[in-house]
Structure 1
Amino acid sequence: MQTINDTHFQFPGQKNVYKGKVREVYNIADELLVMIASDRLSAFDVVMPKQIPYKGQILNQIALLMMEETKDLVPNWLMASPDPNVSVGKLCTPFKVEMVIRGYLSGHAWREYKAGKRMICGVAMPDGMKENDRFPEPIITPTTKADSGLHDQDISREDILAKGIVDEKDYLVLEDYTRKLFKRGTEIAKKRGLLLVDTKYEFGKTKEGEIVLIDEIHTPDSSRYFYADGYQERQDQGLPQKQLSKEFVRQWLIENGFQGLEGQVIPEMTDEKIEEISNRYIELFENITGQKFEKADTTHILERIERNVLDYLKA
């Protein structure tokens, strides 16, 4: 079974390539972006040494579905998907912040809270909360969008504006779009018997000046889900929540002494662990979308992608 690590395509009109943690984005003639979802696995802003079969296909196809289900609310960059691992869309200039929104006290927010902090990104968190409790209202906790190899950093709305990272007019649009998308994502999750706990959105600006949603949306890499059934009982009894997200990878790494900090060593990922993670991602896909996952042929995966993209660009 082949997986996608690095890609080194040369498409007609190609200007440059941006390599993110788990995606590669090809600029075609300063008009289109071809985004390839690799099978790389990232946690704590570190790319793991081994890839996860079907992970790229899963993330790409969830994002496609969610873009379709939210395009009436917020414009997005997407134009087509010529391959299970590929999205093609409008060239955009990304904003240098990620808009994180949280409906529940989980993950990073909980780790900060447990350490005694009651402010995150300039937003107050109420006293007396337990891990995974629901916030009275969702809170927006932006992060900087770090360059490759660096960690994203929490940042407040005030600092974003004061440093000129985003101007106020645009930032108000980003906040409005973030709240609308989270509300829709919550409604979609509810239909699947899930709770959308937290997520992040990325936005860019087209050459015409329109702010649009870019990258992925409501995937298990960018979002955290709980099963709605039994949520309150688990909270009342102080039990961990049954969740759908990449958090199971983070927890395994933490248990094995790795949180992306200097000097820490990534634990070995055996074939059994890789298969387990792949199967969990398939479970995530089926629960989040309500559809059965159809594995694409990975026999010659890079040749398949190149052929499908070339056919699309020629057309």
Structure 2
Amino acid sequence: MKDAEIPELGGGKRGKVRHVYSAADAHGEDILIISTSDRVSAFDVVLDRAIPYKGAILNAIAKWSFDQTQDIIPNALLRMPCSHIMIQKELVNIGFECVMRGYMWGSLATDYEKGMREKCGLPLMEGLLRYQKLAPPLFTPTTKARRGHDRDVTFEEMAVSLQQTLNPQGSAVNGWILARKVREISHLLYRRGEQLARKVGLTLVDTKYEFGLDSSGNLYLIDEIHTPDSSRYVVFSEWKQKWSGIQTTMESGKWPNVTQLLQDHPEFKVQELSKQLVRDLLIERGYDPNSGGSVTLRDEDVVETSARYIELYERLTRHEFDFKVDVPDGNGITATDASRP
């Protein structure tokens, strides 16, 4: 399902992957009807090819993960009338993406190799290598940018911003207390996600969380959780074996960093069960994220990406994926319908 729009519900807000509609249920409560498409984005660009079953898998993993973490924090999910639709409470988004990093990976590793020794106000020790496990994991919040890239912020900046934006009339919300609570819960959620992943032979490398407040100031987990679009997963045994080889090889001093080692020894690259596959494929095709340009996926790329999403769902949840997913057409998906059990 490449198009996530439901015309019967009006305009809504179109994102890279989801289309979100604000409505009220039969009891007058504000809700969000979230339609998740099979679209995929990379480097802030929505690609021209959709990934079969991707939307259904994202929702299925998110629902499963919401269920696995509701003892830590309540979530906004009310129900799923079909595989591509989530209905959530409409809450006040706190305006930050709370990124948890358990390993030197992705942009963190790239920036570190370029000389960065601080992330979101947190000092990074010398001698770290790409793919290295971090202890403890890092809480690295970013702003939620409507356009362009998100911006890193320190914990202190986050607390001050929460105080200013959520407490304009001197309400009961205390920005510093809320920031500490968000940080603590993010650590607990990441720990739970890593525990669940390790039970099935995986590792949760990094992930992000979003939070919202109701009218009484109660905190909820919103949007999605531990999906391959918001998280990186790898097979633990593969990481362990390749990390050992990387450590030994880097001791020679021949390579200044692991990225250059991987150019000579691509066999050390750890494969991900995440959207990173799409980014890697585009770079292999010659796409430059800095200069932009047209991007496309080949048939085999689409098949492999879909297969990895399905593999992650089945490994993580221990449930076989149902290929007979129901695709919404807008009929019957109404605000009143959302209030039904």
Aligned residues of 2:274 and 2:308 also touching (Cα < 8 A) = no
5+ residue gaps, structure 1, are none
Give the letter aligned to residue 28 of structure 1. A
Secondary structure (helix, strand or coil) at the match of 1:196 reads strand
Q: 1:234 to 1:165 in 2, by over 3 A?
A: farther
Give the drift of 1:197. 0.8
User: Paired residues, what number?
Assistant: 305
Of residues 215, 225, 229, the one that matches 2:233 is: 225
Aligned residues of 1:82 and 1:309 also touching (Cα < 8 A) = no
Structure 1 residues 77-92: aligned runs within 5 Å = 77-92=76-91
Residue 2 (structure 2) pairs with residue 4 (structure 1): yes
Aligned residues of 1:253 and 1:266 also touching (Cα < 8 A) = no
Structure 1 residues 277-288: aligned runs within 5 Å = 277-288=305-316
Q: 1:72 to 1:295 in 2, by over 3 A?
A: same
Q: Deviations over 1:192-250 (max 9, x none)?
A: 11111110000011233211000110011111112112422211212222332211111
Q: 1:293 to 1:124 in 2, by over 3 A?
A: same
Aligned residues of 1:45 and 1:260 also touching (Cα < 8 A) = no
2: CA distance, partners of 1:145 / 1:248:
24
Aligned residues of 1:43 and 1:249 also touching (Cα < 8 A) = yes
Give the drift of 1:287. 2.0
Sequence identity percentage: 35
2: CA distance, partners of 1:306 / 1:281:
28
Secondary structure (helix, strand or coil) at the match of 2:188 reads helix
Q: 1:64 to 1:26 in 2, by over 3 A?
A: same
2: CA distance, partners of 1:38 / 1:117:
37
Give the letter aligned to residue 83 of structure 1. C
2: CA distance, partners of 1:209 / 1:165:
13
Alignment RMSD = 2.0
5+ residue gaps, structure 2, are 167-174, 247-267
Residue 18 of structure 2 is matched in structure 1 by 23
TM-score with structure 1 setting the length: 0.90
2: CA distance, partners of 1:8 / 1:189:
34
2: CA distance, partners of 1:285 / 1:293:
7
1: CA distance, partners of 2:283 / 2:153:
24
Q: Deviations over 1:83-139 (max 9, x none)?
A: 001111211111111000011000111111111111111111221111110012100
Secondary structure (helix, strand or coil) at the match of 1:244 reads coil
Structure 1 residues 127-138: aligned runs within 5 Å = 127-138=126-137
1: CA distance, partners of 2:276 / 2:3:
22
Give the drift of 1:46. 2.0
Give the letter aligned to residue 143 of structure 2. T
Residue 335 (structure 2) pairs with residue 307 (structure 1): no
Secondary structure (helix, strand or coil) at the match of 1:243 reads coil
Aligned residues of 2:4 and 2:36 also touching (Cα < 8 A) = no
Q: 1:7 to 1:72 in 2, by over 3 A?
A: same
Structure of larger gyration radius: 2
